[in-house]
Amino acid sequence: MRTRAVAPTLITKTNVTPIIDVALVLVIILLVTAPMMSMAELPVDLPQAQTREAENERNVSVTLAYDGRLAVDGDEVAPADLRAYLAARLAAPGNAGVLVVIRADSNTRYSIVRGLLADARAAGAKRLAIATRQKVTP
């Protein structure tokens, strides 16, 4: 009796599972790091508050460090140029109703923070917020 030789079957389809795995890992890394990229590297000690509602939505962050340095999102800006820079930022496509968050050190005088709020309003900001640390209650 003769036995017939079985020909090996060829794999003709591409296995996309590793590609999908890598793509999902990259998406997770992007989602985790994106919120960190929009804040300036200036050291700020935020005041405490009870709620933190505005942190999860898209916003433009204006940061005032304890030494008077200003930054918008990650770009350091001279105080005299803040209004023009913020107006240009708010005029960009898709930024019409964006929330402008003022992040000021807790030792900053309120009159300076009030001036930042006025500059943001004059630059065209329709929605404003002041960033705070959440108050931890035992």
Judge whether residue 20 has pLDDT over 90: yes
Residue with tokens 């994106």: 34
What percentage of the chain has pLDDT greater than the value 70? 83
pTM of the model: 0.58
Domain chopping of the chain, boundaries: 38-134
Number of H helices, E strands in the chain: 3, 7
Closest to 83 (Cα-Cα) out of 130, 121, 42: 121
d(CA 91, CA 13): 49
| Consecutive H or E run containing 93 | none
Render pLDDT for 75-134 as a digit per residue (tens, 0 to 9).
888 988 889 999 888 888 877 788 888 888 888 888 888 999 999 999 888 888 888 776
Cβ(105)–Cβ(66) below 8 Å:
yes
**Has residue 24 got a pLDDT over 90?**
yes
DSSP 8-state symbol, 109: -
β-sheet bridge partners, residue 70: 64, 77
pLDDT tens digits, 37-53: 766 677 777 776 655 55
Confidence check: pLDDT of 56 > 70: no
Contact call for residues 89 and 119 (beta carbons, < 8 A) = no
pLDDT at 138: 59
For residues 65 and 42, which has the higher predicted lDDT (pLDDT)? 65
Torsions phi, psi for 71 (to 5 deg): -145, 145
pLDDT at residue 107, as a whole number: 84
